[in-house]
Homo-oligomer: A and B are copies of this chain.
Amino acid sequence: METITIGLLGLGTVGKGVVTLLQTQAAKIARTQDFRFKLKSVAVHNLAHHQGDRLPAGTILTDKVTDVVDDPEIHIVVEAMGTIAPAKVAICQAILNGKSIISANKDLLATAGEEILQLAKTAKVDFFYEASVAGGIPILRVLSSCLETDQITQITGIINGTANYVLTAMDRKGQDYKTALAAAQELGYAEADPTNDVQGIDATYKLIILSRFAFGQSLSLKDVPAQGITNVSPAQLASANQLGLKVKLLAVAKEEKHQLFSFVGPAAIPAAEPLAHVNGVQNAIAVQSDALGETTYTGPGAGATPTANSILSDLLATGDDIVKGNCGREFNSYRKPAIAKPLTAVPQRYLITVEGTGNLLSIVSNIPTVSWQQQATGQDYWSGLTPVIDHDDLEQLCASLRQSGRQVAFLPIANSWQTVPEKVRE
């Protein structure tokens, strides 16, 4: 039985999960595969921080990345550093040394992915990154191995656990954003600097990677107009509930007529849709496609062992390719040109919430196209659903409501953008 030697970069939460799972799953791997894995060395930034970490007997702990990426005995480098620049240098060096790469680094993949993928293809090494999107949900392998023969028309994801946790807490406990975020930070569900999670940047990175697999399309950060959840108010959550809707941070990409419409931001989801029931740190991705209709994949979006399991499934695929001499196949080989557009270009329905004191009835009743209703709780705000309207008309409508001095906010209604009219198609 062949032994495949692994080098690991980084020993944080994900790295430790990989070390653990390689040990606990060794017997099962030996039973089902023609090879076994050996973890030879682990590179960390600061040796002093890892003196207490337990590694398998014989595994080398080093603070030099080159001890891993330049080691001729190592077949596969698992990158779990989580930075952009140093990880890129290390990965490129390892590829040039003929090593296959497994990475969980969504930031790197979203911003410099194509460049590294080309390098890996040229060097005929494997480069897998299942763990970069939705942690433990095997969505990239599902898209590349199971839905490759289908035509995907839309991907809708709840793919940031922190944002979903905060919104769920706001909804269930009636908390405002700041209180819910502080509680999430206390419990370790949000980082000390939560910017990437709550501003939708992390979800955008993941949507960029998903769009390559689903649509063959390489979006860049500037193509996706991301909004965060920082301005979502308890009044918006309450008015959504009253109308049978749940507010989630959604990442959406929808293809129609060679255009790829994308959106990252808070949206209101009808309770009948599966994504409305995805709560807390759970992630879920709904895929709409011609042959299957809708399939939904739900599971843990983060955490040591879920992320490590995705890395181990990449390791098995790479190990199999090494044993059979098949390295160099792309994780995703689908490419198809499309024009990137914001989803706001598509007419859709919106939930409008008007807050403020005094008589709001006279104000909202000026906008008869919206089905207004007052909060059942008796608080001083009104909410309503618009018909399907252009974004310009929505802005105009909100502007007229704001003239009263009231606070006006809107959320798109998920999947109300079903039909792209001809004029947008042009």
| A residues whose Cβ falls under 8 Å from a Cβ of B | 21, 24-25, 28-29, 31-33, 130, 136-138, 141-142, 145-151, 274, 277, 289-300, 303, 305-306, 308-310, 312-313, 315-317, 324, 326, 333-336
Give chain B residues whose Cβ lies under 8 Å from the Cβ of A138: 142, 145-147, 295
User: Do residues A297 and B295 form an inter-chain contact, with CB atoms below 8 A?
Assistant: yes
The residue of chain B having its C-beta at the shortest distance from the C-beta of A310 within the complex is B146
Q: State whether A293 touches B298 (Cβ < 8 A).
A: no
User: Are A151's CB and B292's CB within 8 A?
Assistant: no
A323 shortest CB reach to chain B, Å = 10
Given A142-B142, A277-B277, A295-B297, also A313-B32 (CB < 8 A):
no
Give the chain B neighbours of A290 by CB distance below 8 A: 24, 305
Which residue of chain B lies nearest to A305 when distances are taken between CB atoms in the complex?
B291
The 4 nearest A-B residue pairs measured at CB: A138-B146, A295-B299, A149-B312, A291-B305
The answer on a CB contact under 8 Å between B149 and A291 is no
Q: Does B299 lie within 8 Å of A298, measured CB to CB?
A: no
How near does chain B come to A218, taking the closest CB pair, in angstroms?
15
- Complex A-B: 17 CB contacts under 8 Å: A21-B291, A25-B151, A31-B334, A33-B333, A138-B295, A142-B142, A148-B316, A149-B309, A149-B312, A149-B315, A277-B277, A290-B305, A291-B308, A294-B300, A295-B297, A295-B300, A297-B298
Given the known A-B contacts A141-B146, A277-B277, A296-B298, are A334 and B136 also in contact in the complex, defined by CB atoms under 8 Å? no
Closest CB-CB distance, A350 to chain B, in whole Å?
Answer: 25
Q: A297-B295, A298-B298, A306-B292 are in contact. Are A21 and B136 (CB under 8 A)?
A: no
Q: Which residues of B contact A28 (CB under 8 A)?
A: 148-149, 151, 334
Number of copies: 2
Contacts of A324 in B (CB 8 A): 324, 326
Chain B residues with CB under 8 A of A313? 145-149
- A303–B291 Cα distance when bound, in Å, is 9
A300 to chain B: which residues have CB within 8 Å?
A: 292-295
Could you tell me the distance in whole angstroms from the C-beta of A159 to the nearest C-beta in chain B? Answer: 14
Residues of B with C-beta under 8 A to A146 = 130, 138, 141-142, 309-310, 313
Q: Which residues of chain B come closer than 8 Å to A142, judged between CB atoms?
A: 138, 141-142, 146
In the bound assembly, the distance between CA atoms of A138 and B150 in angstroms comes to 12
Closest to A141 in B: B146
Q: Which residue of B lies closest to A286 (CB)?
A: B298
In the complex, how many angstroms separate the beta carbon of A330 from the nearest chain B beta carbon? 9
Residues of B within 8 A of A147 (CB): 138, 309, 313
- Bound Cα distance A308, B312 (Å): 30
CA distance A333 to B312 in the complex (A): 17
CA A14 to CA B277, docked complex, whole Å: 32
State whether A25 and B149 are in contact (beta carbons under 8 Å apart), knowing that A32-B334, A142-B142, A326-B326 are contacts in the complex.
yes
A33 to B334 Cα, complex, angstroms: 9
The answer to whether A306 and B334 have CB atoms under 8 Å apart is: no
A312 to chain B: which residues have CB within 8 Å?
A: 149-150
In the complex, residue of chain B having the shortest beta-carbon distance to the beta carbon of A276: B277
